[in-house]
Amino acid sequence: MISGGQRIDDEPAYVIHRRRFRETSLIVEAFTASRGRVGLVARGARRARSRLNGVLQPFSALRISSAGRGDLATLRSAEAQGRSIWLTGPALFGGLYVNELIYRLCARHDPHPDVFSAYENVLAELTVRIHDRRWMEWGLRLFEKRLLQGIGYGLMLEGDAINGEALEPDRWYTFVPKRGPVPASHRTQSRFPRVEGAALIALRAETLHEDTPIVQLKAVARAALRPYLGARPIASRALFT
């Protein structure tokens, strides 16, 4: 973990959350490549002549610099890198969802370079596949898997959780959070999702086939995330079900 008082110079970052602060400023949560999530005060960003308000937008690649001690540093500069990303419809809701996951699950000043890479990948998928709901859903499932792995809670997909036997594509399993897939013939609590082995194998290999039942993986992801998100629901999830 990196101290919150360290200076940041020209760091790749994305804005994942922002809110008003005092009369003219913003508090920004940025997800950075090598520093993890950082909290920043963007002083004067809401003034009419401030260029920061237009730059500090979700999903746009930035380079930021900051200085200051404590949990909230002062943003010194933010420069857009390349063309801004504009998401609409389901792609926008998907982007808001992954931002909220990072905000909720990644602690400040805890670097997660693999998660940062996964975040850039899912944004690219949402941008390119903006009219392909199936591919967008697949991109979200991959991000959830990579996020959990990056923060130390990777999904157990190497075999069934009873005896470690290889998953069978035509067999049904019950996915038990923090444990993994259990053959559906075994007694498991019904509140856990049922999923075909083919879906779990595809997720493990990160390879989507035409007949992959990816709709089943949404329930798996929600069950896997629930222990770490707590009782408070994901707010952005209500926008796309």
Long-range contacts of 7-11, Cβ-Cβ distance < 8 Å, separation of 24 or more: 7/65, 7/66, 7/67, 8/32, 8/35, 8/38, 8/64, 8/65, 8/66, 8/67, 8/73, 9/65, 10/63, 10/64, 10/65, 11/35, 11/63, 11/64, 11/65
H/E element holding 98?
helix 89-105
Domain end position, chosen among 16, 48, 80: 80
* Number of domains into which the chain is organized: 2
pLDDT over 90 at 35, yes or no: yes
The Cα–Cα gap between 144 and 71 comes to 27
Window from 45-54, 101-110, 184-193 with minimum mean pLDDT: 184-193
The β-bridge partners of 102 are: none
Greater model confidence, 231 or 188: 231
Q: Give the residue among 232, 221, 238, 36 at the shortest CA–CA distance from 146.
A: 221
Once rounded to an integer, what is the mean pLDDT over residues 46-74? Answer: 90
Structural domain range at position 192: 89-231
**Is 167 inside a domain boundary?**
yes
pLDDT at 65: 96
**Is 239 inside a domain boundary?**
no
Q: What is the CATH number of the domain that holds 31?
A: 2.40.50.140
Greater model confidence, 7 or 151: 151
pLDDT over 60 at 3, yes or no: no
pLDDT over 90 at 48, yes or no: no
**Is 3 inside a domain boundary?**
no
Give the model's confidence band at 185: pLDDT under 50 very low, under 70 low, under 90 confident, else very high: confident
pLDDT at 14: 96
Same domain flag for 21 and 109: no
Q: What is the pLDDT of residues 194-209, one digit of tens each?
A: 999 999 999 999 999 9
Once rounded to an integer, what is the mean pLDDT over residues 89-104? Answer: 94
What is the rounded (10 degree) CA torsion for 229, 231, 232, 235? 70
Same domain flag for 18 and 136: no
Q: What is the pLDDT of residues 128-181, one digit of tens each?
A: 887 888 999 999 999 999 999 999 999 999 999 998 999 999 999 999 999 999
| Cα end-to-end span (Å), the chain | 35
Greater model confidence, 6 or 18: 18
Same domain flag for 65 and 128: no
Same domain flag for 176 and 69: no
Percent of the chain with pLDDT over 90: 76
pLDDT at 71: 84
pLDDT over 90 at 225, yes or no: yes
Once rounded to an integer, what is the mean pLDDT over residues 88-111? Answer: 94
pLDDT at 128: 87
- Backbone conformation region of residue 82, classed left if phi is above 0, alpha if psi is from -120 to 50, else beta: left
Percent of the chain with pLDDT over 70: 94
Domain end position, chosen among 54, 80, 106: 80
Q: Give the residue among 48, 55, 59 at the shortest CA–CA distance from 23.
A: 48
The Cα–Cα gap between 194 and 178 comes to 15
**Is 237 inside a domain boundary?**
no
Once rounded to an integer, what is the mean pLDDT over residues 1-14? Answer: 74
Asked if 14 and 59 touch (Cβ cutoff 8 Å), the reply is: yes
Same domain flag for 21 and 128: no
